[in-house]
Amino acid sequence: WCYILSWTICCRVIRKISANQTIEFEDDLTNNTRRYLRGKHKKYTGPCMATNPIDSCWRCKKNWAKNRKILAKCVLGFGHKTSGGSNGDYYLVTDNSDNDVLNPKPGTLRHAVIQKRPLWIIFARTMHIKLSQELIVQSNKTIDGRGADVHIAYGCGITLQFVHNVIIHNIHIHHIFPSSGGLIRDSEDHFGFRTVGDGDGISIFGSSNIWLDHISMSEGQDGLIDAIQGSTAITISNCHFTHHNDVMLFGASDAYSKDQFMQVTIAFNHFGKELIQRMPRCRWGFFHVVNNDYTHWKMYAIGGSMHPTIISQGNRFIAPHDLNAKEVNQNRLQPC
């Protein structure tokens, strides 16, 4: 069935394409990955537990942990051309510190993401990373948290600004606070002054070909995910959102008409407890909201203004008991 929120209805068939490269891993990292996915104390012996076409593309491959880059072939939707760092080397994060944003220490996540070359970034072990300033990611990167329990928490969030081709997969982002601003290195050969940040979990600004998959997000200071200023070709899939007010914002200004070219797919996500609104909130643009599970909200689920096209298809909406908060969709004629 199809629930359509739109002034314009249009259909488009999207196919996935991307490059892939295989590099063998050491056995200990592979074994850790398998143990983590099946749980610490339970050994699963049944058939593959993939419940959607994105997961079944990689999770059911017998040796996927030794061929991690097969993930880059699995993205669907408007971000279907995203290949991340699949054409580059692996970078192993071994240090969870973030003490020097001007000269990041090798082995840290910040040192990995500022490199100009393509990289597939993985983690040596479970880590809690408290970012002292916003993490500014260069193009052609994959941040792959499979095989470890990686939390970016109690610090600043992730910024994708004027970049392309970035995958972020299987990490937890929560308790994000505004950055204080100052001098921050954003590439190997450049640093600059950054103003005070908003406290977004992931901020996408003027960027394209972005895939966010299997990310657990909650309790940011501002939005969990914001995509603005002409960002497009984005897929957000298999994510879990809880405990937040403004969940997703696509397009921040009624005056910025270039966002009419924004295209975003929101698929197979769970919008869970203690959420209030913006799941997503859309200005301008074209948005496919498909096969998501909405189990809680306190104001409304999907909102739009400035004549966006929103196709809501195959979603489950369980409205709250509050009679004043049962809006599935909200058409805002005024800025908010």
pLDDT, one tens digit per residue, over 35-85 is 444 445 466 677 777 889 999 999 888 888 899 999 999 999 999 999 999
- Is there a cis peptide before residue 308, judged by omega within 30 degrees of 0? no
Task: For 39-64, give the DSSP string.
Answer: -SS----SS----SHHHHHHTT-TTG
Q: Regarding the domain with residue range 2-330, which homologous superfamily does it belong to in the CATH classification?
A: Single-stranded right-handed beta-helix, Pectin lyase-like (2.160.20.10)
Q: Average pLDDT of the chain?
A: 86
Each residue's pLDDT tens digit, 75-132? 999 999 999 999 999 999 999 999 999 999 999 999 999 999 999 999 999 999 999 9
The active-site residue, picked from 194, 278, 281, 283, is: 278
pTM of the predicted protein model: 0.85
For residues 202-237, one letter each, b for 16 or more C-beta atoms within 10 angstroms of the residue's C-beta and e for the rest, the string is bbbbbbbbbbbbbbbbbbbbbbbbbbbbbbbbbbbb
Q: For residue 15, indicate whether it is catalytic.
A: no
